[in-house]
Amino acid sequence: MALSARLTMRQGQALVMTPQLLQAIKLLQYSTVELAAFVDEELQRNPLLERADDRPDVEMAPAIDRYADAQNIAAATPEAIPVDAGALSAELGTDVSNAFDADAPPRTPPAERDEAGLSAGAWTGSSGAPYDGEAPHLEAYVAEKITLAESLTRQLATATADPVARLIGQTLIDAIDEAGYLRESCAQAAEKLGAPVERVEAVLAIIQSFEPSGVGARDLAECLAIQLRERDRFDPAMRALVEHLPLLARRDFAALKRICDVDDEDMADMVAELRRLEPRPGRAFGAEPVQPVIADVIIRRASDGGWHVELNADALPRVLVNQTYAARVSRAAGSAADKAFVSECLQNANWLTKSLEQRARTILKVASEIVRQQDAFLEKGVEWLRPLNLRAIADAIGMHESTVSRVTSNKYMATPRGLFEMKYFFTAAIPAGSGGEAHSAEAVRFRIKQMIDQENAREILSDDAIVARLKSANIDIARRTVAKYRESLKIPSSVERRREKTAIARSAV
């Protein structure tokens, strides 16, 4: 067969992932914090974007009227395009609304002098400048926040004047992690520095005397021992208990009492003493500030007995496209490159506002369907949580599963029963024993926890006994599944629970 080259034309369809489409997909899966950071970057990058809070004179138009292409939006609002995710109505029979306060109340400056005749700057520390609505230089009054390493370095400087000891100590401090534990052996540090191991261990003993108590330990037993020595509680019995922490983790109190040579009362006191210690001494220094979880959707009881679903106004960024400024800059642009830059900024700004609008609409749609599917959970509790998967929601609202998955990632719903991640409502199905309606895995997990919480020292439920009780409640479940759910709830085995509850009962007597 002869080989030859030829040119042919073929017609077909393909999905092209444009940068704008990729941006819309990313916006959909962003959490509240990530979305706020992204919008802040766009506000700094694009001169045609501005926050709605900076334009109290602009009335936020209904979102449904602005959901069009950029040209139509520009014609409807010649000066600015407000992006307000409110006033979106659910299309699934659930009462859905969202109210945004576009016009912030005017800030009223306080009186220059109070009844005693003192000026506002008398207690704020200001120099008598006119009040502009903000406290002057608040950062000057904030205490310095230091790290664990910095705190140890300062204590080392006062603990020894020997430059060699300081060098060794700084090397050891660099090897201490955020929890306060030394993650490098003395032999490794000695080899690195070319110093005797005994000298390194002597410097480590100095570091272990620093605050917080227990810092510089190489394992949990040494950390607890350091703290007990400082409290003068490291007697032979406590030493034996610290040396056998694995038995304590298994709650084998009978073996511990024999090893420590103590009775039930003394053992209970010793365990209580250990629980008062800090297993992570560096917790107060090395931990990053906890980021609060912000609800994206708020669920409230409606007056007609249903559920009122609304977007959290505080969690949604509101940005405007300043069309007046865009037109002015475009007319002033002299070169083709300047005009192209302004045109690109306007196009990106319009696309961002539409993407934010679509994101808000999609989140509200998915949340409304979740509320409709899990109405029994909101009414009666976890036991009534229904089995649910992404496909069920996607089919109900006419979207793809991947879209629902992105929407429910890192999104939270504030309900009358607490704050839940959207993915919490998606649970596997466990079949019913008589072929009835399937049970939710989360509901079964809750039942198992309830059974174990209600047991006493004389009647500890084994996994087989839990299986039997669940089957009597028409829940068909295997023993290994019960064990998996119990372990996921951090509940020990029946043997360990019997030891613990027996010890507690004896100490109470």
Portion of the chain with pLDDT greater than 90, in percent? 23
Distance, in Å, from the CA atom of 66 to the CA atom of 73, rounded to the nearest integer, reads 6
Which own/partner pairs from 273-276 qualify as long-range (CB within 8 Å, at least 24 positions apart)? Answer: 273/228, 273/233, 273/238, 274/224, 274/241, 274/242, 274/248
The predicted pLDDT at position 299 comes to 93
pLDDT tens digits along 305-361: 889 999 998 888 888 888 888 788 877 777 888 888 888 888 888 888 888 888 999
Contacting residues for 506 by C-beta, under 8 A, at least 6 apart: 264
pLDDT classification of 288: cutoffs 50, 70, 90: low
- Phi and psi angles of residue 105, each rounded to the nearest 5 degrees, phi first: -65, 145
Residue 70 per-residue DSSP state: H
The predicted pLDDT at position 81 comes to 31
The predicted pLDDT at position 79 comes to 35
pLDDT tens digits along 182-241: 998 899 989 888 889 999 999 999 999 999 899 999 999 999 999 999 988 899 999 999
The predicted pLDDT at position 156 comes to 92
Segment 385-402 shows an average pLDDT of 90
The predicted pLDDT at position 471 comes to 87
Segment 151-177 shows an average pLDDT of 91
- Cα–Cα distance list, 243 to 217, 220, 279, 409, 437 (Å): 14, 10, 15, 44, 52
Domains annotated on the chain, with CATH: 145-217 (1.10.10.1330), 220-280 (no CATH), 429-508 (1.10.10)
Cα three-residue angle 51-57-60, rounded to 5 degrees: 65
The predicted pLDDT at position 105 comes to 40
pLDDT classification of 2: cutoffs 50, 70, 90: low
Q: Residue 430 is inside which H or E element, if any?
A: strand 429-430
The predicted pLDDT at position 1 comes to 55
Segment 282-302 shows an average pLDDT of 79
- Cα–Cα distance list, 216 to 193, 239, 353, 399, 502 (Å): 18, 19, 52, 54, 36
Q: For residues 364, 367, 368 and 371, what is the CA-based torsion angle, rounded to 10 degrees?
A: -160
- Say if residues 482 and 448 touch (Cβ distance below 8 Å): yes
pLDDT classification of 125: cutoffs 50, 70, 90: very low
- Phi and psi angles of residue 208, each rounded to the nearest 5 degrees, phi first: -70, -10
The predicted pLDDT at position 310 comes to 92
The predicted pLDDT at position 97 comes to 37
The predicted pLDDT at position 128 comes to 40
Residue the block writes with tokens 């040494």: 222
Please give the structure tokens belonging to residue 95.
């009462």
Start-end of H helices in 208-314:
220-230, 236-243, 245-249, 253-260, 264-275, 283-286
Segment 405-419 shows an average pLDDT of 91
pLDDT tens digits along 450-480: 899 888 878 888 889 898 888 888 888 888 9
Please give the structure tokens belonging to residue 501.
């509850």
Predicted confidence (pLDDT) at residue 134 exceeds the cutoff of 80: no
How much is the mean pLDDT over the chain? 78
Distance, in Å, from the CA atom of 83 to the CA atom of 317, rounded to the nearest integer, reads 8
How many CB atoms within 10 Å of residue 40?
12
